[in-house]
Amino acid sequence: MQSEYRQRRQAVLEAIGGGTAIFCSAPTAVMHNDVDHLFRQDSDFFYLTGFNEPNAVAVLSPWHDEHQFVLFVRPKDFDKETWSGTRTGIEAAKERYGADEAYSINDLGKKLTQYVEKADRLYYHFGHNSEFNGRIIRLWQQLLAKMTKQGTGPVAIEDSKLLMQQFRRVKSPFELEKIRRAIAISVEAHNVAREMAQPGVYEYEIQAAIENVFRRSGAMGPAYPSIVATGENACILHYVENNQQLAEGDLLLIDAGCAYDYYNADITRTLPVGNRLSEEQKILYDLVLQAQLAAIEQVQPGKPFNAFHDAATRTITAGLVELGLLVGEVDQLIEEKKHKAFFMHGTGHFLGLDVHDTGILRNMDKSWKPFAPNNIVTVEPGIYISPRYKPAEGQPAVEDRWKGIGIRIEDDVLVTETSNEVLTSAVPKTLNLPVLVH
């Protein structure tokens, strides 16, 4: 386990050469009325350290004679640990987390300078912690002021997120194992949910069953707020109320995945409630499935990142034209983004320590970066025809029989050396139902 984090640090140490990278932990859990909310470590910080406490700073300084990896942590404190749980403390930070040196976070002001004053550049992400941001700027200003006499010092601050994404977008076997586990648990949850999709059941009952599977399987919990959306609720992309009753003839959209040891799954299925399916539901479902399969086909090593979204967009737009829901020439409709009336989100995102995982998608010249082996991406096209749908100028009104249908199908796809592997294929996505028009 430690060797995994050591290897990750090694890669970053090599990349930054004469620079120093500073990573700040996520802020302490938010407190509302004296009630703690769960702490979740910053993903870059966790990726490099595996250290899961707030009020910590990690420093990587490859050029330093003795200390290439330094941790600043909360010191042991009997009283505070009684209230908020044990702290690793300074000594164990070295032993357990492999730091060459560790200090109390209270000594940051005194001890940090030695790890940055001879660096030629700093790597730091100006995130939400404005107090710490201010600290880094002040430190940098002090070093710049001394630079004329000393001849050394960091001439620039580079965003550490840019640095980190190149490593995090390629998953190691260790990470892949965690993600496979998160997916296996989420697959089981979806298969439990599928059995429950009957008229009269409440969305929250299904949510509870899903999240029950997550926790009893040792997952940390949902990777994001579970969406259990029946009927027209599925047309609200971030529907989270989950308080309505399923009705015969609804389609039920479930977007749920767990976090397991910090790694995430992200799966969406749309399925019929009871045994009825209208022709419109079936047609649109088949179109989304066709778009999803066409998109998955484009997730290949060397293929540019936009190819899978283009494939999904083209399939959906052409299908909508054939159905008379959009009018015009497919290329032009796409160019004018007319498909966005029904398919308004991207086709997917990287998946890893974050659900929407880090990863720059384009090069400086605007060309798209290619997929590489061991990238993991979600593929999740959808069609949503809201009851509130209003056609854009020049587009036809939509008959009521199409309204209130929301469909998304989302798989997690691994790029392999030669092609891809759909990691979430154990949740069925074929409907296999007779079409009964209501």
CB of 386 to ligand GLY, least distance (A): 18
- CB closer to ligand GLY, 382 vs 404: 382
Q: Is 408 designated active site?
A: yes
Q: Which amino acid is at 161?
A: K
Which tokens belong to 181? 């586990």
Does residue 224 touch ligand GLY according to CB under 6 A? yes
Residue 380 near ligand GLY by CB under 6 A: yes
**Sheet containing 227-230: which strands, arranged edge to edge?**
227-230, 251-256, 267-272
The residue type at 77 = D
Enumerate the β-bridge partners of residue 384: 406
φ, ψ at 143 (rounded to 5°) = -70, -35
- The letter for the amino acid at 92 is A
Q: Is 34 a catalytic residue?
A: yes
Site string for ligand GLY, 137-176 (x = CB under 6 A): ----------------------------------------
Identify the residue among 53, 232, 266, 412 touching Mn ion (CB under 5 A). Answer: 266
The smaller minimum CB distance to ligand GLY, of residues 153 and 359, is found at: 359
Among Mn ion, ligand GLY, none, the one that 426 touches (CB under a kind-dependent 5 to 8 A) is none
Residue 112 in 3-state DSSP?
coil
Residue 412 is a binding residue for ligand GLY (CB under 6 A): no
Using rule CB under 6 A, residue 266 touches ligand GLY: yes
**Whether 241 is catalytic:** no
Which of 255, 280, 354, 357 touches ligand GLY by CB under 6 A? 255
Report, in Å, the least distance between residue 71 CB and ligand GLY: 32
Please report whether residue 250 would count as binding ligand GLY according to CB under 6 A. Answer: no
The tokens describing 32, both together, are: 């509302």
Here the tokens at position 72 are 């600043």
Candidate list 278, 281, 375, 378; residue touching Mn ion; CB under 5 A = 378
Judge whether 271 and 251 are in contact, CB under 8 Å. yes
How many angstroms separate the CA atoms of 45 and 34, rounded?
Answer: 27
- Which H or E run contains 60? strand 57-60
Q: Residue 101: which H helix or E strand, with range?
A: strand 101-104
Identify the CA nearest to 190 among candidates 267, 292, 97.
267
CA angle (265 as vertex; 264, 268 as ends), nearest 5: 145
- For Mn ion, the closer of residues 203 and 410 by Cβ is 410
- From residue 141 to residue 160, the character string flagging contacts with Mn ion as x (rule: CB under 5 A) and all else as - is --------------------
Lookup: tokens for 353: 């320590």
Minimum CB separation of residue 69 from ligand GLY in Å reads 33
Catalytic residues: 34, 238, 255, 266, 345, 349, 356, 380, 384, 408, 410
Query: Where does this chain bind Mn ion (CB under 5 A)?
Result: 255, 266, 268, 378, 410
Query: Where does this chain bind ligand GLY (CB under 6 A)?
Result: 224, 255, 266, 355, 380, 410
